[in-house]
Chains A and B, each alone.
Chain A
Amino acid sequence: MHYPFLITCHGKPETPILTLRAHPVVFLTGGAVFLILFFVPFAAAALLPELTATLLESTVLGTGTVLLVSLYMLVVLLLGFNHFFNWFFDIWVVTNERIVDIDQEGVFSKKIGELELHKVQDVLAESHGVLATVFGYGRIKVETAGSHTEFAFDGLPKPYAVAKHILELAKADAPLHQGEAAAQH
């Protein structure tokens, strides 16, 4: 994986430690909707065989119907691919210095936010619902003290372990920035 956003800090290049993405179940539950939509024309043809046969008998109506259904399926396929794309590229990269939140919104839009680990004050992990409990995913929220900045990620696998890991990294990073904090005061 490429990390083009990494910076140099304390004279050393930043090291990526965790790459976090929503649980595959989160993708699959959304993907199931596209799968159902994809098979709607087949279900309609099976439920209404007479209407389908009548439509397909006519040259103009039949051609129009085939082209329209084909287009519908292509669009559903593209939307399903887009759903995967957004799930795949919606990631958090936790380095030894920062949490980088990469938020992909379609092909042409991307948002990157960052939160410095030494500013982390509180990490909240929570898991709600049957699927989340069974598959072990949940929401994680990272808060900073001063600027009221808040980072949240839904559907993250093992949220409690991740929260613990982030807090440990924040504690390890804090002493390296004590000089900066003193200079600000």
Chain B
Amino acid sequence: MIIPLYVLALVFLVPVAGVGIMGALKSKQLFAYGGAFSAFLATAVFWGGFALILLTTWSMLAGVDWTTPLLDLSVFLSPPV
């Protein structure tokens, strides 16, 4: 049994979604408070940074063969000698 590299990307997406959800909840509360400039600036920095990090990651991983084996678990499945 071979676990492909894209499993790593799928595992990565879980905490990224968590960061996105937490960021969205905080942004919503800041927005509900009223138009303070510092709140707008902090929200813009957060989402700008969030997008920049993900875009950089995306561009750095361009061309990666996601079917490359990450782990080969077949050794555990083979019958004992």
A residues with CB within 8 A of B = 1-2, 24, 59-60, 62-64, 66-67, 70-71, 73-75, 77-78, 80-82, 84-85, 88-89, 107
- Residues from chain A with Cβ under 8 Å of B16 in the complex: 71, 74
Do A59 and B22 touch (CB < 8 A)?
no
Chain A interface SS verdict (over half): helix
**B56 at interface by CB-CB < 8 Å:** yes
The chain A residue sitting closest to B12, CB to CB, is A67
- Residues from chain B with Cβ under 8 Å of A107 in the complex: 22, 25-26, 29
**B79 at interface by CB-CB < 8 Å:** no
A151 to B39, CA, bound (A): 26
**B57 at interface by CB-CB < 8 Å:** yes
Do B50 and A63 touch (CB < 8 A)?
no
Partner of B19, one of A62, A78, A84: A78
Chain A nearest CB from B52 CB (Å) reads 9
Do B65 and A70 touch (CB < 8 A)?
no
A60 to B33, CA, bound (A): 45
Partner of A77, one of B5, B8, B19: B19
- Residues from chain A with Cβ under 8 Å of B30 in the complex: 85, 88
Do A66 and B23 touch (CB < 8 A)?
no
**B2 at interface by CB-CB < 8 Å:** no
A88 to B34, CA, bound (A): 12
Interface residues of B in 17-74 (CB under 8 A from A): 19, 22-23, 25-26, 29-30, 32-34, 36, 38-39, 42, 45-46, 49-50, 53-54, 56-57, 60-61, 64-65, 68, 70
B residues with CB within 8 A of A = 5, 8-9, 12, 15-16, 19, 22-23, 25-26, 29-30, 32-34, 36, 38-39, 42, 45-46, 49-50, 53-54, 56-57, 60-61, 64-65, 68, 70
Partner of B23, one of A67, A73, A78: A78
Do B65 and A59 touch (CB < 8 A)?
yes
Do B33 and A63 touch (CB < 8 A)?
no
Do A77 and B33 touch (CB < 8 A)?
no
Chain A nearest CB from B67 CB (Å) reads 11
Do B42 and A88 touch (CB < 8 A)?
yes
- Residues from chain B with Cβ under 8 Å of A59 in the complex: 5, 64-65, 68
A160 to B9, CA, bound (A): 55
Do B64 and A63 touch (CB < 8 A)?
yes
Do B32 and A63 touch (CB < 8 A)?
no
The chain B residue sitting closest to A83, CB to CB, is B42
Chain A nearest CB from B57 CB (Å) reads 4
